[in-house]
Amino acid sequence: MGVGKSKLATVTVVALEERQSNVPLPPFRSGAGANGVTEGVWMWSHPLPHPDREQKKKGSVMILDCEGMGDLDEHIGANLYLFCMLMSTAFAVILRPSRVDRSQCDRLYHALCCFERMRTPYVLPNV
């Protein structure tokens, strides 16, 4: 289920990046439609300046992108699976479509069932 995480990550990088040259930024890979193109977790490799440049605040912003909950393989490891699911679920709520359909509910239910089968103590400790 594509919810626009890659596109949002790319727009954020472009907004924060100050380029001295006119070289176009290589974006996070994203595709049209519901088919995901991101595999695993990706991180923007260049340090990005603090958004409040006028106050000369120091620090940097880390931008992450991960595969969506419809594309996850539960055999990739519990920690990576959990991280991607949490990010995907949060963005599915924030960037949700105007109408939530049955397939989206089924994918979320499938993810919860996968967590239950994993039985890791930091996923569902009271199940």
* pTM for the structure as a whole: 0.45
Confidence of residue 21 (pLDDT cuts 50, 70, 90): very low
Q: How far apart are CA 82 and CA 88, in angstroms?
A: 10
Strands annotated E in the chain: 41-43, 48-49, 60-61, 64-66
Confidence of residue 39 (pLDDT cuts 50, 70, 90): low
- Contact, 54 vs 22, CB < 8 A? no
Handedness of CA 45, 122, 3, 98 (dihedral sign): negative
Q: Which two tokens stand for residue 28?
A: 């996070």
Confidence of residue 127 (pLDDT cuts 50, 70, 90): very low
User: What's the pLDDT tens digit per position in 71-125?
Assistant: 555 566 666 667 766 666 655 555 555 666 787 777 777 777 776 776 655 554 4
